[in-house]
Structures are given as structure tokens and as C-alpha cells.
Amino acid sequence: MKIKLVSEVSIDGKITFGEGTSSKDLFSLLTTEDMEYIHEIRSKADGILVGMNTIRNDNPSLTCRYVEGKNPIRIVPSNSLEIPEDATILNDNIPTIIITPETNKEAAKKYAKYQSVNFVFAGEEKLDFAVAFSKLEKQYNIHTVMLEGGGTLNWNLIDKDMVNEITVIRLPIVIGGKNNISLVDGEGYGNCNLAKKFGLKGVEFRGNVIIGNYVKA
């Protein structure tokens, strides 16, 4: 599975305001051309992966409505299986796959009424991303995934060396706040040897934003 992380970040690397807030506020700083750029990337991916907090806080549709092209299949990991009943991903009839541990097989039945939602079970009690991605490739023909955060999910996948590319769309804004969510949260690394390394592939200046492209070293 090829995974490309794409995210809008502030100058100081934050991806949203206070905990539990929607990053849609940040999106208001993007132009139509910026949105087209992001949706173009979406339209080239087989799947789009976001964390369940992003679903709960932003209620995104994750489509590529700014460009012509097919919507990627939405993929959302969850241990809790607490999905808001009114979430767009449950109700808009665009395919969504929830990846979750085997222990959730019974709990998943309550979502059977949402016809465009499928479950992939991977890992006994904890979600196993390697097993999940292998099943997504074999059962759903998903080989390229655009990862759109948030910070917890980004950490989980970068820490497992599963992210091949990172595209950072840097907005000219400082958010600050020790507890505000960053591009990558989790435990973090204590020194440069442990830190995950990426090589700079290219930089683009687009109006108000700087886009940095990095590949796994």
C-alpha cells in the first residue's frame, strides 16, 4: 500500500484550533485553486484515510467535488466504533470502510442499516494496520491511499513506517498552544536518530501557501 499524507498546517505545524474543534475553520483560508489542488490529489487515490476524531469533529464528506474524477473510498480506523449517527460518511451513499479489530464484529452490526458502509476486521483486540491494508488491497483493490490526519492517526502510521510521502500545505498563520493538535502527535521521538527521516522532493509557492513535498528516506 502506498500512503501519502496531505495536510494543511499553520506556520507552527498545527492542524486545527483547540481540541475537539473542526479544521474547517482553517480551510476558510484556502482559495478555490488550493481546494482544486487538494481534490486533484484525492481523485488520484484509491482510498482516503482519516481518523475517527476527524469524523466526529469535522464531519467531512472527503469527496473530490472541486474537480472531475472519482471519489476515493473512505477508510476510517476505530477502536470505539462510536460513529455519530448523523455523520456524512454514514449517510451520503458514497462507499466507506471502517477498519476495526475482530472483537468489534458484534458491535459493527448496529451499522448494518447504512448500505454504503463496510467493515474490515483486522487484529484481535487492537487494530492491525498491516492486516487491514493487505485486506483492503485484496478485497477492495485499494493500492494508493491519501492520508488526511489527524495528528493521532498520522503518528500511528508514521511510527510504523507506513507513510511513503508527505505533502504539507503551509498556511501563513500561527496558532500556537501546547495542547493544540499538530500534524503528528503521539509520543514523539527523543532524539534525531529515532526521528523518522524524509527527503525534500519539491517546493511550490501557490499564492498564500507554500507546498512542501517529502518522500520517505
Ligand X SMILES: NC(=O)c1ccc[n+]([C@@H]2O[C@H](COP(=O)([O-])OP(=O)(O)OC[C@H]3O[C@@H](n4cnc5c(N)ncnc54)[C@H](OP(=O)(O)O)[C@@H]3O)[C@@H](O)[C@H]2O)c1
Question: Which residues make up the interface to ligand X (CB under 6 A)?
Answer: 7-8, 15-16, 21-23, 26, 50-54, 57-58, 77-80, 82, 127, 148-153, 156, 181, 185
Residue the block writes with cell 521521538: 189
Comparison of 38 and 142: residue with beta carbon closer to ligand X? 38
Cβ at position 54, least distance to ligand X in Å: 4
Q: How many CA atoms lie within 13 A of 106 on its CB side?
A: 1
Comparison of 46 and 148: residue with beta carbon closer to ligand X? 148
* Amino acid residing at 134: S
Cβ at position 17, least distance to ligand X in Å: 8
Sequence-distant (≥ 6) Cβ neighbours of residue 16 within 8 angstroms: 22, 23, 25, 26, 57, 150, 180, 181
Cβ at position 96, least distance to ligand X in Å: 14
Residue the block writes with cell 492491525: 128
Comparison of 127 and 217: residue with beta carbon closer to ligand X? 127
- How crowded is residue 26: how many other Cβ atoms within 10 Å of its Cβ? 21
Comparison of 52 and 191: residue with beta carbon closer to ligand X? 52
